Amino acid sequence: MITYDFSRKVAVVTGAGGGMGLAISNLILNAGGRVVMIDLKPEPEEIAGSPDRRVYARGDLTEPGFVSETIDQGAARFGRIDYLANVAGVLRFGDDASLLDMDMAIWDQVFDTNLKSMVHTARAAVPHMRAAGGGAMVHFSSTQCLRGDPLPQDAYSTAKAGVGALSRSLAMQLAGDGIRSNAIYPGLTETPLQARWDTPDKIAEAGSWVPMGRIGTPEELAHAAVYLLSDGASYITGIDLVVDGGLLLK
């Protein structure tokens, strides 16, 4: 198992109330770091580390005032911001469909959460990273935007495609400041976002589509993200990392 030392480092993690965001937060906390955790959901019980090394803020990431205030307060409490993990997202099963038919209000809501929220967090975090002398960001996209689907979720897929473009643009803009930006494209992963897989049989059926024969865990995606944030990835920026058990091979 790879180990990390994040002592004296501070991360902002969105979607930290469960799934991949919580797993990333726990990895950083267990490695000695401090985390500003943001989510709409209530604070989970299974957070690692001591309370003095974390802040849990409940709020709407589509509200730029809330985002900037939360990140500024985290920087004031812990003295710096080094990392940003943009994990929060939403799936609107049933409402998000073909762009030819769907309600464009749903389109806007999905874009606000899955893409524009990352603009808010980056705008708030980058000044603190510059003040700290550098940093790293990782933004969660999806393999869904890299392939067609007979049952389209066009708002979700298009917003997630934008995440990659946003990440690469930030990587180019901020390289001179010592700030890295990379994107992760998860495949099928067992998280609260995928509430449709609510039985072992459904999970197994979903996993049968994956060459490795199973769906991923939040911890597996978290390890990929934490590596890209860490000094072990100090010469990596602007990449798109697919973590999908081979799904795109099919």
How far is Cα of residue 212 from the mean position of the Cα atoms in its chain? 23
- What pLDDT does 205 receive? 80
Does pLDDT of 197 surpass 70?
no
- What pLDDT does 5 receive? 96
Does pLDDT of 201 surpass 90?
no
pTM: 0.94
**Distance in angstroms (rounded) separating the CA atoms of residues 71 and 232:** 25
User: Which residue type, as a one-letter code, is found at position 106?
Assistant: I
| H-helix or E-strand spanning residue 179 | strand 179-186
Query: Tokens 């762009």 — which residue?
Result: 99
State the number of CA atoms in the 13 A half-sphere of 139 facing the CB: 32
Does pLDDT of 237 surpass 80?
yes
List the catalytic residue out of 4, 156, 185, 235: 156
Number of H helices, E strands in the chain: 7, 7
State the number of CA atoms in the 13 A half-sphere of 154 facing the CB: 11
**Distance in angstroms (rounded) separating the CA atoms of residues 250 and 248:** 5
Q: Which neighbouring-strand residues pair with 183?
A: 139, 240
- What pLDDT does 221 receive? 97
User: Which residue type, as a one-letter code, is found at position 43?
Assistant: E
**Distance in angstroms (rounded) separating the CA atoms of residues 21 and 2:** 19
* Helix axes 117-132 and 64-78, enclosed angle (nearest 10): 30
CATH of 10-244, one of 3.40.50.720, 3.30.460.10, 1.50.10.10, 3.40.50.300: 3.40.50.720
Integer-rounded Cα Rg, in Å, for the chain is 17
- What pLDDT does 213 receive? 92
Residues 186/216, Cβ–Cβ less than 8 Å: yes
Does pLDDT of 194 surpass 80?
no
The one-character DSSP state at 216 is B
What confidence tier does 245 reach under pLDDT thresholds 50, 70, 90? very high
Average pLDDT of the residues in 205-233 = 92
Longest distance between any two alpha carbons in the chain, whole Å: 50
* Helix axes 154-174 and 117-132, enclosed angle (nearest 10): 20
What confidence tier does 33 reach under pLDDT thresholds 50, 70, 90? very high
86-129 per-position pLDDT tens digit: 999 998 888 999 999 999 999 999 999 999 999 999 999 999 99
Q: What is the mean pLDDT of the chain?
A: 94
What confidence tier does 190 reach under pLDDT thresholds 50, 70, 90? confident
- What pLDDT does 202 receive? 78
**Distance in angstroms (rounded) separating the CA atoms of residues 219 and 197:** 18
Residue 185 annotated among the catalytic residues of the structure: no
Residues 6/33, Cβ–Cβ less than 8 Å: yes
Work out the angle at residue 172's Cα, subtended by the Cα atoms of residues 167 and 175, and round it to the nearest 5 degrees: 105
Query: Tokens 């990140």 — which residue?
Result: 71
Map out the domains of the chain as residue ranges: 10-244
